[in-house]
Structure 1
């Protein structure tokens, strides 16, 4: 295939024959999946707790965090698209190996704990819906996710992940099924209020730590590399003339993906504020607890939607958590990696996916408290997020790495602000914990 053929989009006639939803999803890519995966069962638990404890009052934080998410994820995506390799590979090429090992170690530890919490939440959700052994459901979900990620062809798998994002609309349904006053909810979103005490500050830190997580950086950067191979195009550092169109696509994809993520988070907070908080239920620690608490208040249908949403978002988030760990470990050791590869071509990469997923599932069979495990996962993510964001900015500003496509001063400044905010949030986490 020639370069001009590669750059030529499908004809309008072909695109017009596809359903509108498929056409809309086709222009979205790693940003959409990354944003949707941010609303994993652990994130749902955080948003549910915020809604239950504080009602509508802290919804504005989702608007505040949105530009921080966009700039951070766009920088991660640009690194992959411009250099043709992921974040860990760039660290390996241009920075001390000790820094790379520390970053990847913390990433893997946090991801395995997060995998355990998410798989456990999915098993609990099935148990709430149909009864039965929750631990067995947890293990089955882990096995199914591994099989899909290892043996499904990448183009089909990427399409499945994009279609899976539609499961998040379950939380939109929860809001409408709960007969929420959208006017009251909108007012609280647009007119911020904040009480300067430990509880509110901890909620702020928790939301920022949930929405801006290191595994999302590695995943989106790695997926941009996967997309280049799928489309048979070269990295932008080799073909800078195509940069304007590609970087515009990345920006649009990231803006939409992070917007979708935060919109769903808003709906979760609204739903739990209008139901749980309004009925005096203010202590929610897991997503399955939030679903169960909805049953006597909002009815079986609303409870069912919430529980199904946990399962759908988990099926989307598990591959992202396991995949980001595999990208990091494989790039650190120089192993052949990528979901586009056949299992025999990237045995070590897929082995990391399987081990990380099943190790997460195994945590649910131990005496480890899943709430405490999730707490320590948040600690590790807090430790890693701000320094990794600073490292990403250094990579993206390095002309040896990015060539002529380094960050603009405005984007570098925006990334610096996001890093400073996450650094302050991490310090706040330790001070208030």
Structure 2
């Protein structure tokens, strides 16, 4: 596959990147860089590897079986108690969870526009939500995909330029790839993992690959898309953390995402502030669009509804999720703590979804020769164990044990 063909293969994986590089990523990476400098860069590297492992399974499931993850889970269990429990998990953790994220997504993007224009985020928020709703209402997958890919490109360029303008310490960056756990960092480590390895993206990916490709014969192209997109997403997260680490003295506590943008101006000039704000807007808009889409795919699949983008019930789900964000974005409050808490909650819930995925990926009746190999099961198991440990550490840190 040549370079041009590889670029053309980019699609559903970029939507996954668009989903996880939201205001939660910007917030968590900024807070982490300001408080612990470059010390937790290794967490991003782990998150990228973990995301590739799990998202490849999700994409393979959708490509081979032509089912979403929600459908696969519902159909996998003969025991009605287990079947209903899995459906309840999907609808609550994914459907309701994406609605909880949506306000932070919209407000984060609106905060970026407010910094550039001076117009209140409470005005930009609902407007952004309505534009996102218009895009989803078209029901045209290719249009949605291309719009999101374009915004990811804008986001990447913006944050990459900031990281260059700020003049980071490259030796400290290299040292940051060596795993360490500074005192008090467990909460943010879990947050960084939770902002990258996102549970609802597993549902989004399994369904979106079916819109782009026809079957197992396209698996190589699909894997190229998955790996390239997630690596680029990880580099964007890394750029944000590096920028914060270079701007703030170690130990600084950020209370508002706007603080990050404002602090850039005296250090690296007005352009750095503008680029950061544009990147924040793109992050908010992409996540505000993909989260309702993921929630609709997951809920419709779990409940056995039609997953067509123009289906009434499918639209009803994403309208509810997006509508929640639009309504609450009109209220005046800082989303930073809510976003951080949501990221950590995702990190705690993720192991359950990951175990479901690994379980389904070993079903030979559905996947035949495309079931997980021993290596894939081991990698998936290790990723799940680490995520469980991080979630456990985070919970203990909240009650003051660690």
Q: TM-score, normalised by structure 2?
A: 0.91
For residues 281 and 98 of structure 1, what CA distance do their matches in structure 2 show? 43
Q: Deviations over 1:324-350 (max 9, x none)?
A: 1001111122222233xxx3xx01111
Are 2:75 and 1:93 aligned?
yes
Stretches of 4+ aligned residues off by more than 4 angstroms: 366-369
**Alpha-carbon distance, 1:116 to partner:** 0.5
Which residue pairs with 2:133 in the alignment?
146
Q: Deviations over 1:72-119 (max 9, x none)?
A: 111111111111011001112122122212222111222112111010
Are 2:152 and 1:165 aligned?
yes
Alignment of 1:141-290 (within 5 A): 141-151=128-138, 153-167=140-154, 168-181=156-169, 183-190=170-177, 192=178, 194-197=180-183, 199-228=184-213, 233=214, 235-236=215-216, 242=217, 246-277=218-249, 282-290=252-260
The answer on whether the counterparts of 1:109 and 1:377 sit within 8 Å (CA) in structure 2 is no
- Cα separation, partners in 2 of 1:377 and 1:109, compared to 1, 3 Å: farther
Which residue pairs with 1:76 in the alignment?
58
Which residue pairs with 1:133 in the alignment?
120
**Alpha-carbon distance, 1:44 to partner:** 0.7
Are 2:42 and 1:60 aligned?
yes
**Alpha-carbon distance, 1:193 to partner:** 5.4
For residues 284 and 132 of structure 1, what CA distance do their matches in structure 2 show? 23
For residues 381 and 64 of structure 1, what CA distance do their matches in structure 2 show? 16
For residues 345 and 96 of structure 2, what CA distance do their matches in structure 1 show? 8
- Cα separation, partners in 2 of 1:24 and 1:164, compared to 1, 3 Å: farther
For residues 385 and 37 of structure 2, what CA distance do their matches in structure 1 show? 28
The answer on whether the counterparts of 2:114 and 2:120 sit within 8 Å (CA) in structure 1 is yes
- Cα separation, partners in 2 of 1:415 and 1:285, compared to 1, 3 Å: farther
**Alpha-carbon distance, 1:281 to partner:** 7.3
Which residue pairs with 1:44 in the alignment?
26
Task: Let me know the Cα RMSD of the aligned residues.
Answer: 2.2
For residues 101 and 86 of structure 1, what CA distance do their matches in structure 2 show? 16
For residues 23 and 312 of structure 1, what CA distance do their matches in structure 2 show? 26
Q: Deviations over 1:166-194 (max 9, x none)?
A: 1122111101222334x33442244x252
Q: TM-score, normalised by structure 1?
A: 0.85
For residues 98 and 53 of structure 2, what CA distance do their matches in structure 1 show? 22
- Cα separation, partners in 2 of 1:305 and 1:375, compared to 1, 3 Å: closer
The answer on whether the counterparts of 2:44 and 2:238 sit within 8 Å (CA) in structure 1 is yes
The answer on whether the counterparts of 2:40 and 2:180 sit within 8 Å (CA) in structure 1 is yes
Alignment of 1:282-361 (within 5 A): 282-339=252-309, 343=310, 346-361=311-326
For residues 31 and 23 of structure 2, what CA distance do their matches in structure 1 show? 12
The answer on whether the counterparts of 1:385 and 1:422 sit within 8 Å (CA) in structure 2 is yes
Task: Find 2:102's aligned residue among 101, 110, 115.
Answer: 115
**Alpha-carbon distance, 1:120 to partner:** 0.6
Higher-Rg structure is 1
**Alpha-carbon distance, 1:24 to partner:** 5.0
* Stretch deviating more after TM superposition (150-159 or 99-108): 150-159
For residues 84 and 50 of structure 2, what CA distance do their matches in structure 1 show? 28
